[in-house]
Amino acid sequence: MRRIKISLFLSLCIATIYAGIVYAQNTYTPATFTSGAMIGNCPIFPADNAWNWNITDAPVHPNSDNFIASILSSGDEYLHADFGSNLEYGIPYVVVDADQAFVPITFTAYGDESDPGPYPIPADAPIEAGGDQHVLVVDADNCKLYELYRAEFNGTGWNAESGAVFDLLSNRLRPVGWTSADAAGLPILPGLVRYDEVESGVIRHALRFTVSQSQRAYILPATHFASDSDDPNLPPMGLRLRLRADYDISGYTGQARVILEALKTYGMIVADNGSDWFISGATDARWNDDDLNQLKQVPGSAFEAIFTGESMSN
């Protein structure tokens, strides 16, 4: 047993180092960086973090046409906001301070790929409606993000199938091969469309979206795949799409226009299997559904996949 534990420890160390090497050497790097999203006094990762990359000058992926065609093949052809004024839609999050009590976390499925508790999650933290039951908590004093998948309060703490903790001041990735509270091993909160950002008139980060079929591969900063398919034309986790520069968005207004501008500048990242072209947003009763419904006029064919790094499948 001791030999197994030592071997596992070394493997995890090597995997973490390897992720850093690959991420530094084999990925696209923007020419300039600008500050991304903020929550309180905390940046949502440093300016040079992949979520905050301005990818307007990123090269088109050599397999872009096949990736887009494979997503379109399901029959779903248009964008869809997976959030709105109905609080049953979207992924909620809560912001706490340093006084929030830490509680135990019991992992029921993927504890070996989860960051151990305790986490500072209130007993009344909002839970995403539906099967995924995500719980997202930002400690705005210590700039830490805590995320759970399929979570439920058990009276003293939380049960969850998996969980991850992210330092919002660091670019450190999950160990290669690990999941998170999301299938791709990515954090969820940085990819959400948040009402306060849209209301300000600008989103400064990539968005999270889902596809129904994915490849058994991932592109960093994703660290985990969610498929058994070796079809190279299916999108891997972490694939980034950009709304083409020649797609005219001048006729779109309000909240939809802000989202489309972000999709041209920062793009959207495949983070999980789900409905095709569904963009994730935070739960908020203030969303204007008429505005958001304009996204249903934007075809998936208006997107292109960009190259941000090589696919990995180990």
pLDDT tens-place string over residues 239-248? 999 999 999 9
Degrees to nearest 5, angle at CA 237 with 109 and 120: 45
- Report pLDDT digits (tens) over 13-26: 434 433 443 444 45
pLDDT at 254: 97
Instruction: Give 182-200 as a DSSP string.
Output: STTS--SGGGSB-HHHHHH
Paired tokens of 5:
């534990």
- Report pLDDT digits (tens) over 58-113: 999 999 999 999 999 998 999 999 999 999 999 999 999 999 999 999 999 999 99
Every domain of the chain and the residues it spans: 38-88+188-306, 94-167
Which helix (H) or strand (E) segment is 36 a member of?
Answer: none
205 phi and psi angles, rounded to 5 deg? -160, 165
Strands (E), the chain: 38-39, 42-43, 80-82, 94-96, 105-107, 135-139, 144-149, 152-153, 158-160, 162-167, 207-211, 240-243, 268-273, 278-280, 303-306
Strand pairing category for 158-160 and 207-211 = unpaired
- Report pLDDT digits (tens) over 192-249: 999 999 999 999 999 999 999 999 999 999 999 999 999 999 999 999 999 999 999 9
Question: How many angstroms separate the CA atoms of 121 and 268, rounded?
Answer: 28
CB 161 within 8 A of CB 108: yes
**pLDDT(4) > 50:** no
pLDDT at 271: 98
**pLDDT(8) > 80:** no
Question: How many angstroms separate the CA atoms of 180 and 171, rounded?
Answer: 15
- Report pLDDT digits (tens) over 124-177: 999 999 999 999 999 999 999 999 999 999 999 999 999 999 999 999 999 999
CB 51 within 8 A of CB 44: yes
Nearest to 177 by CA among 3, 307, 6, 19: 19
Q: How many residues does the chain have?
A: 314
CB 287 within 8 A of CB 298: no
The per-residue pLDDT of the chain, averaged, comes to: 91
107 phi and psi angles, rounded to 5 deg? -90, 135
Overall pTM > 0.85: yes
